[in-house]
Amino acid sequence: MPTKREQFVQTMRAQLLGARMRELREERGLTLKYIAAYLGVEFSTLARYERAEWPFRRDHVIALLDVYGVFDEGERQELTTLAQDAWRVDQWERDSSLGPLGLTIVDHWWLQQRAVELREYAAMVVPPLLWTQDYAEAVIRATSGKGAHPSRVDFLVQQCLDRQHILDDKPEKRLLVLMEESVLRNPVGGRLVLRAQLEHLVRVVERPHVEVRLVRQAGWHEGMYGSFTICDMERPYPPVVQVEHLGGRLTLEAHAAMVYGQAFDHIKESALGQTESVAHIASLAEELA
């Protein structure tokens, strides 16, 4: 009968913890061999901990934090809590109550960096990885509220544009977007901003690893529940789904993520092909000229 460790599912908590513990070890210039000997475990066991193939033991985490010189109580609490909850496969809410590292909440950017493929369903606006600067500013200003400081808006816009460079990664990260046609008619930022955004979409899909397909449906489909992003990780790590809402972002694993994957496939079946979609986007851009 398989042991509990052999049955372990590589949860996001385990992945976050493994990645952070590896970062701490490497920052101190310590080898796997040295730390494995200190813990009294096999070299391969520690490697599996850091890759989240097996869950880090809480007592091992506490011991290593002492070795790595991590004495901040907030950071120690976050990492030991991750070790304690490494088996949990449930939803995570992102809100304003971030700890010192933000590790108790799965970071959207961290997930996108680790993913080998991103599948997005866009119901209301163009996905951020495809924004122009003016479109990004219009969206961020609208969602930040009237009291948002201009410097904060500028920071978020630049951060968004910087993060688009993951599409330049090698090997190439595939991006597949299913977008409601109505998104292309939503005058975010005004007529000229929208036109420039549509023209940008036409250019960006010339990249072989970027695909945008339009959804033109009058009836109900699963996407009407709202936009979502599926982060497909390198095997053996399972996919993770993030769903944005007014209060923050919901991160889903296991069965819940599988449900969104099935929904994406269903929506894709009725979407226009890439060539037809690009032609339609170009046509709408010309109408705004």
For residue 89, pLDDT over 70 is answered with: no
Alpha helices in 28-170 (DSSP H): 32-39, 43-50, 58-67, 73-84, 108-114, 133-144, 150-163
Give 147's Cβ-side CA count (13 Å radius): 0
What local confidence, expressed as pLDDT, does residue 237 receive? 78
What local confidence, expressed as pLDDT, does residue 108 receive? 75
For residue 41, pLDDT over 60 is answered with: yes
- Which H, E and C letters describe 140-163, residue by residue? HHHHHCCCCCHHHHHHHHHHHHHH
What local confidence, expressed as pLDDT, does residue 15 receive? 83
**Cβ–Cβ contacts within 10 Å for residue 147, how many?**
6
Tokens representing residue 114 in the block? 């680790």
Rounded CA-CA distance 15/182 in Å is 37
Rounded CA-CA distance 132/49 in Å is 40
- Write the pLDDT tens digit of every residue in 160-217: 999 999 998 878 899 999 999 999 999 999 999 999 999 999 999 999 999 999 998 7
Rounded CA-CA distance 116/160 in Å is 19
Rounded CA-CA distance 104/58 in Å is 15
Sheet holding 248-252, edge to edge: 92-94, 248-252, 240-245, 228-233, 115-122, 174-180, 210-215
Give the rounded percent of residues in the chain with a pLDDT score beyond 90. Answer: 56
Average pLDDT of the segment spanning 234-260: 82
What local confidence, expressed as pLDDT, does residue 183 receive? 95
Average pLDDT, the chain: 86
Rounded CA-CA distance 156/90 in Å is 29
E strand spans, the chain:
92-94, 115-122, 174-180, 210-215, 228-233, 240-245, 248-252
For residue 285, pLDDT over 80 is answered with: yes
Rounded CA-CA distance 183/250 in Å is 22
Are 211 and 251 in contact by the 8 Å Cβ rule? The answer is no
Rounded CA-CA distance 53/87 in Å is 12
Dihedral of alpha carbons 228, 249, 186, 204, sign: negative
- Write the pLDDT tens digit of every residue in 213-245: 999 876 677 777 889 999 998 877 788 898 887
For residue 2, pLDDT over 60 is answered with: no
What local confidence, expressed as pLDDT, does residue 5 receive? 54
Domains, the chain, ranges and CATH?
12-90 (1.10.260.40), 108-125+169-287 (3.30.870.10)
Rounded CA-CA distance 276/198 in Å is 14
